[in-house]
Amino acid sequence: MLNHMIHVPVSILCFTANFLLIREIHVANVASTGFCQPPTSAGGQQHESHGDLRSLSSSLFIIILHFLYEIMAVHGPVVKIHPVVLASIVDSYERRNEGATRVIGTLLGTTDKHSVEVTNCFSVPHNESEDEVAVDMEFAKNMYELHKKVSPSEVIIGWYATGYDITEHSVLIHEYYSREAPNPIHLTVDTALQSNKMNIRAYVSSQMGVPGKTVGVMFTPLTVKYVYYDTERIGVELLQRTRASPSRTNGLTTDLAQVASAAGRVQEMLTTVLSYIEDILSGKVMADNSVGRFLMDLVNKVPKITAEDFESMLNSNINDLLMVTYLANLTQAQIALNEKLVVL
């Protein structure tokens, strides 16, 4: 059962909607400069424009926000996300309750002076309807405590929600999270694939409004980068291969096969480069100096070793490996013998 309910009177919703409306008009004006200034003139005049303009304002706001996401200069930290977080979010979306359109949860990670690294997350049950939103905060606190036992260095740095837009409810949830963490990040993952892509966006909130009068909240977008540990990247590479098979499954390959596949990849890349060079030679493509320099580097990277030296190096290495293999086989035979003689 949900312990804390946030009841939202409709009037407050209207206020935020108003300021959203104001903001988006203003934002359209400053789109070229990339700054956001608090609205100076349109302060208290919009009390009449309630309900009917609300839907228009939110949709307009969304469109402009997404437009701006592409071109705006970003103020605020860079958000670095690990793939495990995104996989978790998608998984919790798939397991959502009947009737819920979106899932929310807490983001955990570490902050830096200029960046925020998101390394973990967990979903939080919540109920959402037209005019109210209820989040189980007790649960969130509990889970955070449990997670802290495992990785004490992770802190709450924000929250996520699946879905395309930022709704009014998000503002409230964001407020709750700003009590938990200084300047929380809001991450949206579009699992409904509204634009044929899974848009992953991050926002940070900032105050806006006329000081002294009602203040609203604005979400400014941030750049999102994906970071991987080395081992994570290898794991993700393996997962990528499941896309190819029709049953979406993939086994783990054995030793020599892996080397073969890695060699295959390099070979592919070499053929691409070769075809590019062919094109240049036959005049189809303009030669590019920087690419030429890279190619020179590439060819020079193969070290020039005299044949005998290389032979001797190769042979000694091969001898080492063969010796180790022989020893390993010998040991295995030995313990098998020992077994037969002693135990059985």
Partner 1 sequence: MCFGPFPLHQTMASRKESAASGSSPLETPVKQIQIDGLVVLKIIKHYQEEGQGSEVVQGVLLGLVVEDSLEITNCFPFPQHTEDDVDFDEVQYQMEMMRSLRHVNIDHLHVGWYQSTHYGSFVSRALLDSQFSYQHAIEESVVLIYDPIKTAQGSLCLKAYRLTPKLMEICKEKDFSPEGLKKACIGFEIMFEEVPIVIKNSHLINVLLLDLQEKSTVADKHELLNLSSSNHLEKSLQLLMDRVDDMNQDIGKYNTYCRNLSKQQQQKQQYLQRRQQENTQRQSRGEPPLPEEDISKMFKPPQAPPRMDTLLIAGQVNNYCQNIKEFTSQNLGKLFMAEALQGHSS
Between 237 and 279, CB nearer to partner 1: 237
Between 12 and 318, CB nearer to partner 1: 318
Between 45 and 312, CB nearer to partner 1: 312
What is the spatial distance between Cα 76 and Cα 230, in angstroms, rounded to a whole number? 27
Binding residue (CB under 8 A) for partner 1 from 4, 233, 268, 294: 233
Q: Counting contacts by CB under 8 A, is residue 273 touching partner 1?
A: no
Name residues contacting partner 1, limited to 306-325 (CB under 8 A). 307, 310, 314, 317-318, 320-322, 324-325
Query: Taking contact as CB under 8 A, which single stretch among the options 25-33, 118-126, 212-220, 280-288 is the one that binds partner 1?
Result: 118-126
Binding residue (CB under 8 A) for partner 1 from 3, 29, 194, 240: 240
Which DSSP category does 335 fall into? H
User: Are the C-beta atoms of 77 and 109 separated by less than 8 Å?
Assistant: no
Between 73 and 344, CB nearer to partner 1: 344
Q: Counting contacts by CB under 8 A, is residue 69 touching partner 1?
A: no
Which helix (H) or strand (E) segment holds residue 80: the answer is strand 78-81
Between 210 and 227, CB nearer to partner 1: 227
Tokens of 243: 């896309």
Q: CB of 319: closest distance to partner 1 in angstroms? A: 11
Residue 216's CB: how many other CB atoms inside 10 A?
Answer: 19
Label residue 82 left, alpha or beta by phi (over 0 means left) and psi (-120 to 50 means alpha).
beta
Binding residue (CB under 8 A) for partner 1 from 178, 232, 291, 295: 232
Name residues contacting partner 1, limited to 142-181 (CB under 8 A). 142-143, 146, 149-151, 153
What is the spatial distance between Cα 158 and Cα 106, in angstroms, rounded to a whole number? 6
Residues in the chain: 344
What are 135's strand-pairing partners? 126
Q: CB of 74: closest distance to partner 1 in angstroms? A: 16
DSSP assignments along 279-331, one per residue: HHHTTSS---HHHHHHHHHHHHHS----HHHHHHHHHHHHHHHHHHHHHHHHH
Q: Counting contacts by CB under 8 A, is residue 134 touching partner 1?
A: no
Binding residue (CB under 8 A) for partner 1 from 282, 286, 304, 308: 304
Q: Counting contacts by CB under 8 A, is residue 246 touching partner 1?
A: no
What is the spatial distance between Cα 66 and Cα 71, in angstroms, rounded to a whole number? 9
Q: Counting contacts by CB under 8 A, is residue 252 touching partner 1?
A: yes
Residues 6+ apart with CB under 8 A from 58: 17, 20, 165, 167, 168
Q: CB of 229: closest distance to partner 1 in angstroms? A: 5
Q: Counting contacts by CB under 8 A, is residue 191 touching partner 1?
A: yes
